[in-house]
Amino acid sequence: MQDTHVHYVVADEKFLCTEDGKIAFLSHADLARLNFEPDIKHALKSKSSEEDFVVSVAYKEIPGFSWRTLRSLVESVTEEEFQTAGRALQILRWHFDHQYCGRCGKPTEQHARDFAKVCVSCKLDFYPRLSPCIITLVTRGDECLLAWHARSKDEKYSCLAGFIEMGESPEQTLEREVKEEVGVSVANIRYVASQPWPFPGQLMLGYFADYAEGDLTVDGEEIRAAYWYRYDQLPNIPAASTISGRLIRTFVQERQSIRSNNES
Ligand SMILES: [Zn+2]
């Protein structure tokens, strides 16, 4: 039988990569040749006719390969590769984080049909946890509001974002987060696009919003600095493969086309 399955190989949340920084896809034969003994192997349920897998292995140095975090690969892989690798990582986390029932403490086992684990005793089930978030670019004419987030060591300016709380709609979250983080009110909230963001299981819902009123006042905890930037005078912004980078670039294109229409 021909060996066509590919395996994402993960150790300590890092992906096995080739020397030039691409994710390595190993066959059964490769895994055996490199003496990997996976403790977990899980199907990705990809759309391809051949099933792909993620395997969890013990960390070891291998000549010709390197281990990289998915975050460090954001700018060097395609959006589709990023999404699939993110799924692989989340499957392993879900597996390791739900080996025991959170209600009665007994072991869990694989659900008979669903992508879930179920308690062997009380039958409570555990689906992979997703955390929906909003991410928004607030704009004011030719300007957009960009913030340097406290979690980012490098001086990089991006959109505002936050987790949706229980009982909130995404639009309510957006209004609350923008007010809390930078002190301004918004109007005319428009959905643009979404992106799974596996750090850990976030689902980013991307919006545009118009500035309504208020002065910029940074909260100093989540946000280090925030400024209005003209579309043609932007600071260091996130990669185009991220939803934040995409929202900003979409805004820039819109302003450019308005400008060129006015000139012609
Ligand atoms: Zn239980």
Centre of ligand 1 from the C-alpha of residue 117, in Å:
11
Element (H, E) at 256: helix 243-263
Centre of ligand 1 from the C-alpha of residue 93, in Å:
19
Centre of ligand 1 from the C-alpha of residue 121, in Å:
5
Residue 20: its pLDDT value, please? Answer: 86
Do both 141 and 246 map to the same domain?
yes
Q: Which residues contact 159 (CB under 8 A, 6 or more apart)?
A: 135, 136, 137, 146, 147, 206, 243, 244, 247, 248
Round to whole Å and give the CA distance between 132 and 161: 11
Per the prediction, the chain carries an average pLDDT of 92
Residue 6: its pLDDT value, please? Answer: 87
Whether pLDDT at 81 is above 90? no
CA 59 vs CA 28, 41, 52, 179: distances in Å:
18, 15, 21, 44
Do both 63 and 38 map to the same domain?
yes
Centre of ligand 1 from the C-alpha of residue 100, in Å:
8
Q: What is the mean pLDDT of residues 64-80?
A: 89
Domain boundary among 46, 69, 94: 94
264 falls within a domain: no
Do both 71 and 189 map to the same domain?
no
Burial classification of residue 23, based on how many CB atoms lie within 10 Å of its CB (0-12 exposed, 13-18 middle, 19 or more buried): buried
Residue 21: its pLDDT value, please? Answer: 85
**Tokens read off for 96:** 């390791």
Residue 50: its pLDDT value, please? Answer: 63
263 falls within a domain: no
Domain boundary among 85, 111, 129: 129
Q: What is the mean pLDDT of residues 63-84?
A: 89
Do both 111 and 178 map to the same domain?
no
Q: What is the pLDDT of residues 10-55, one digit of tens each?
A: 999 999 999 888 999 999 999 999 999 998 888 887 555 567 899 9
Q: What is the mean pLDDT of residues 236-263?
A: 93
Centre of ligand 1 from the C-alpha of residue 110, in Å:
13
Burial classification of residue 132, based on how many CB atoms lie within 10 Å of its CB (0-12 exposed, 13-18 middle, 19 or more buried): middle
54 falls within a domain: yes
Whether pLDDT at 4 is above 80? no
Do both 191 and 81 map to the same domain?
no
69 falls within a domain: yes
Q: What is the mean pLDDT of residues 215-234?
A: 93
Do both 112 and 11 map to the same domain?
no
Do both 138 and 237 map to the same domain?
yes
Domain of residue 153: give its range. Answer: 131-258
Assess contact for 54 and 96: CB atoms under 8 A. no
Do both 78 and 124 map to the same domain?
no
Q: What is the mean pLDDT of residues 63-74?
A: 92
1 falls within a domain: no
Residue 76: its pLDDT value, please? Answer: 83
Residue 219: its pLDDT value, please? Answer: 82
Do both 135 and 125 map to the same domain?
no
Domain boundary among 69, 94, 119: 94
- Among 77-81, 96-100, 138-142, 208-212, whose mean pLDDT is lowest? 77-81
**Tokens read off for 27:** 């066959």
Domain count, the chain: 3
Q: What is the pLDDT of residues 110-121, one digit of tens each?
A: 998 888 999 999
Residues with CB under 5 A from ligand 1 (ion): 101, 103-104, 106, 119, 121-122, 124
Say which CATH number the domain at 80 has: 3.90.79.20
Do both 165 and 152 map to the same domain?
yes
Q: What is the pLDDT of residues 124-173, one digit of tens each?
A: 999 998 999 999 999 999 999 999 999 888 889 999 999 999 999 999 99
Say which CATH number the domain at 155 has: 3.90.79.10
Residue 1: its pLDDT value, please? Answer: 44
Centre of ligand 1 from the C-alpha of residue 154, in Å:
44
Centre of ligand 1 from the C-alpha of residue 99, in Å:
11
Do both 117 and 153 map to the same domain?
no
